[in-house]
Amino acid sequence: MISFFDVFITVLFLLLLTVPGFILAKTKMLPQSASEVLSVIVLYGCQPILVFTSFQGCSFNTEIAINMLIVAGLALLAHLLMFAVGKLVFIKWEKDDKVKTVKYLSAFSNCAFMGLPFLQSLFTDPALQSELILYCAVVLTVFNVLTWTFGVYIMTGDKNQVSLKKVLLNPVIIAVAISLVVFFVVQKPLVELASEGTAAYTVLNKLMGSLNYISNIVTPLSMFVIGIRLSNISVNHLLTDKWAYIATGMKLLVMSFLTIFLVAFLPIAATIKYTIFFLLAMPSAASGAMMAVKFGKDGDFASVCVVLSTICSIITLPLLYLFMNSVLGITL
């Protein structure tokens, strides 16, 4: 049984992992550019490996396959609904560059850098954790596809900027494709293909052990990145920009409640409901700052929004969980 306290402590101590990165950057032992380097390592080096190893934690069965489709469909629908809400709410300012960034940050959550580590920390049962990380990989796939399609369009307002090539060549998408093939063809973890004690078993076991080493650094490196970015934010800028508060409110409240009511009354397992909720109720996506810079928007403003929503999530995530658990009666 997961409690309000469990969620609060998990968020709090997860964010404490940002402290080393913050201190190293503040003391100039790490340059600000380190966050970009570490982001690339996490996004394109570690997360694809994590996706593959997550598929290796479960054996294939029809229920899991159906649940994966459900998770994909609900994650897609939640994002599309939030895109529509953002368009309606900000229709008067749709040509304003800052508002374009706000719309992006309102819909896209930090499911990769913070959501995935959060689930790993909150759910400690190995079997359940493996299944939930599998669903997380599905949400990450939806996130990546939408980032390079709807996300690019939201930032630019130009359909010609949308690149199918970038979607298909994204390392996470490639990792999911490979993982799905192995998952559906082999239908069990690779190490189970060989008998224990044989040379083949030793090779496969050592291979998966090495891949797991890489997977396990996703959490600390992700938090390091957030810590480095925190160190570069002006407190005055953080507290006085009204649009940052609007983006934070849209992300942590509007998107979260939209997701809650989307999944709350469906006849699906509570673990699936909470997996989708936690991933989509996370703070604004760290990629928002990178996307803003890439498409000529204000990267500093995007960083302020990410940091503000991250700080506020210490309160909103536990309270929203309490709402789902106590008010709506969705128990784990």
> Around Cβ 207, how many Cβ atoms within 10 Å?
12
Written as one string, the DSSP assignment of 128-169 is HHHHHHHHHHHHHHHHHHHIIIIIHHHHHS-GGG--HHHHHT
How many Å from the N-terminal Cα to the C-terminal Cα in the chain? 6
Task: For the beta carbon of residue 239, count every other beta carbon within 10 angstroms.
Answer: 11
Q: Which two tokens stand for residue 220?
A: 């600390």
Nearest CA to 204 out of 217, 213, 194, 212 is that of 194
Q: Would you write out the chain's pLDDT as a tens digit for each of its 332 residues?
A: 788 888 999 888 888 888 898 899 989 898 877 877 887 888 788 888 888 887 887 777 888 889 999 999 999 999 999 999 999 999 888 888 889 999 999 999 988 778 877 887 888 777 777 788 888 888 988 998 898 889 888 988 878 878 778 788 888 888 888 988 888 888 888 888 888 889 988 999 899 999 988 888 877 887 787 788 778 777 776 678 899 999 999 999 999 999 999 999 999 999 899 999 999 999 998 778 777 877 778 777 888 888 889 889 999 999 999 999 999 988 87
Domains, the chain, ordered by start: 4-327 (1.20.1530)
